[in-house]
A and B are shown apart, each in its own frame.
Chain A
Amino acid sequence: MTEYLQVAIFGLLLGGVYALFASGLTLAFGVMRIVNLAHAVFIVASAYIAFFAFEHLGIDPLLSIVFIMPLMFVFGVGVYMALFSRIEGSARYVEMTVLLTFGIAIMIEGLLGWRFTGIFRQAAPGYLTEAFFIGDFLVPTGQFYAAMLSLVLLIGLWAFLRFTRTGYGIRATMQNRAAAQLVGVNVRRVSAISFGISAALAGASGAMMSYLFPFFPFRHWQWIALLLALVVLGGMGSLKGAVVGALILGVASSLVVDQIGPGWGPMVFYAALFVILLVRPRGLFGKEVTA
C-alpha cells in the first residue's frame, strides 16, 4: 500500500505540472476557440530561454519566469493581433486556427532546430537531484518546487479570472461570446489578452520543462499530443477540467510506469483520449457537443 501511495505522490506532483502545461491550451480554446497546436512549441522555446539563462547567467530556472512570462505575454498578444484577429470572421475559424497554429509550430520548431540543433538539453539546478521525506514518503525537491509553483500560478489565474474586471470579461467570453459582446466586452481585446496569458503560462511551463524533462525542438509534438489528451479528458475550454484531467492522468501514468514499465506511460494519455472520445466526447467538465 505504501508503495502505491508513494507512486501516487509522484503522480500528483507530475500532474500538478501537467495542469499548468495544459491550462494555457484550454484557455486559448475556451476564450478564442483556438486549437493551439503551437502551445507545446511555445513551451519548448521558453525552455530554451530558461536553459540558456541558467547556463550563461546562472539564473535559476524557476526564477526565470519573472522575465519569461512577461516576454511570452507580449509575444502572445502580438501573434494574436498579427494573425488570429485577421481570421476572426471566417466561417471556418476553428479549422483555420488548427492549420495556422500547425504552421506556427513548424516554423518555430525549424528556427529552434536551426539555432540550437537537435541535441537534448536539460538544466541542472542543485535541487534537481535532491529529495526529502514527508513521513515515509520520498518527495523529489525539483518536482515539488515545480508542482508548488504550478499551484501558485493556477490559483493566481483562478483569482484573476474570478475577481478582476478583465477576468469577468474572459469568463463571459468563454461561456457565451455573443452575449459577452452585447454586455460591452471588447472580445478582440479580451481574446488578445487571453492569448497573451496562454503564452505566458506556456512560458512558465517552459521554465519548469527546462530542468524537469530533457527537451529538443522536435519534442513538442509528443507534448502537444499529451496535452490535448489532458484537455479533451477535462473538457475543451474548461480550466477546472484541465487541472482534474492532469491530476488523474499524472497519477494513472505513474502507476502504469511503476507496474508495467516506463515505455507505457504515454500510452495512458492516448488510451484516455480514445476512451473519453468514445464514451463522453465533451469530457469531464466540457459543454455539451452539438451538431
Chain B
Amino acid sequence: MALLEVRDVDAGYGAGPNILKGLSLEVEAGKSYCIIGPNGAGKSTLLKVISGLLPTRAGEVTFRGVPFNGARPDQVLAAGICLVPQEQAVFAEMSVRENLVMGGYLVKDRGLIKTRMDRVFELFPILAERASLDAGKLSGGQQQMLTLGRALMIDPDILMLDEPSLGLAPQVADQIFATIRDLEDLGITIVMVEQNAVRGLQLADWGVVLDLGIVRFEGPADTILEDQRIRELYLGKAVDAGDAP
C-alpha cells in the first residue's frame, strides 16, 4: 500500500479554474520523488493540497490508507507530513532558536525538542552560531536552512520541499542538496518540487512530470533523465549543459 495516495484530485484557487485536473499520484515510504514540469503545471498547488493549505474540489487524498480531505494544515502535520514552502517562511522577529521551537510546536516532550534541535544544529552549524539572532537578520540561504531545520523538528514521515534551491547561491544550494541527500539516507520520504530539474532528478529515486494539472510521465528518475522526449519537452538544454538551472 502506498504511504500517500492522491486520487483524481481537482483543485484551484478562489473562483478560478482547476489547476489540478484529475491528478493521481502514489508515494511509497522511504523513496524520494522529484516533481518537475513547466510553470503553471500545478507542482506547488499539489503540495498545497497535500499539506491542507488548499482544499480539493474533487478526488481524494489518503495517508496510510486514511482519507484526509479537508484536514487542517496542523492535522496534516500531526499525521506526519511536513511542507517546506517555496518562500523563506521564517518568523522574522523570533530568534533562530525560537523558530526551531516553533518547528516542534506539536511536540509536547521538551527533552525531545532539545534533542532534535541539537541534531539541526549539527546539520547546520551556522544556525547554532546564530541561535540567538532574529531570523529576519539571516541571509537568504541561512533562512532556507532554518526553514528546513524547522521542518525536521517534527521528525516527519514525508518531507515536502517546494523549490528548495530557489534564489540561493550555488554553494548554498549545494549544501541544501547535500542535506536532502542525508535526509534520504535517514529514510525520510522526500517529495520535492525543484526548478533545477536535472539536479532534482539526480537526487531523487522517482521522477514525476506534471503538465496542465495532470501527471504526464513518471518513472525512475534516471530513466526520465535519459528519456529523449522528456529531455526535449521539459528539460531543454539543461541536460546538455550538465546541471545548469
Contacts and interface: CB of A to CB of B under 8 A. Distances in A.
| A and B are partners in one complex rather than unrelated chains | yes
Interface of A: 91, 165, 168-169, 171-172, 175-176, 178-186, 188
Contacts of B105: 165, 168-169, 172, 183-185
A81 B52 CA distance: 21
A181 B105 CA distance: 11
A175 B93 contact: yes
A178 B51 CA distance: 12
Contacts of A176: 89-92
Given A168-B105, A178-B89, A184-B106, 6 more contacts: A168-B102, A171-B94, A181-B52, A181-B72, A181-B73, A182-B82
4 tightest Cβ-Cβ pairs between the two chains A and B: A179-B89, A184-B106, A181-B73, A184-B74
Contacts of A185: 74, 102, 105
Contacts of A186: 72, 74
A179 B53 CA distance: 11
Contact of A182 (B78, B83, B94): B83
Given A165-B105, A168-B105, A169-B105, A182 B85 contact: yes
Interface in B13-27: 14
B77 interface: yes
Contacts of B74: 181, 184-186
A171 B53 CA distance: 20
A30 B185 CA distance: 41
Contacts of B14: 91
Interface string B68-108: 00001110011000110100011111100010011101100
Nearest to A169: B105
Contacts of B93: 171, 175
Contacts of B103: 183
B127 interface: no
Contacts of A91: 14
Contact of B53 (A172, A175, A178, A184): A178
Contacts of A169: 105
A48 B122 CA distance: 58
B199 interface: no
A186 B75 CA distance: 9
Nearest to A173: B91
Interface string B97-131: 01001110110000000000000000000000000
Candidate in B52, B77, B93, B106 with the most chain A CB atoms within 10 angstroms: B93
B154 interface: yes
Nearest to B89: A179
A184 B81 CA distance: 11
21 contacts: A91-B14, A168-B98, A169-B105, A172-B105, A175-B91, A175-B92, A175-B94, A176-B90, A176-B92, A178-B89, A179-B89, A179-B91, A180-B102, A181-B53, A182-B51, A182-B82, A183-B77, A183-B150, A184-B106, A185-B102, A186-B72
Contacts of A178: 53, 85, 89
A227 to B, nearest CB: 23
Nearest to A188: B72
A184 B105 CA distance: 6
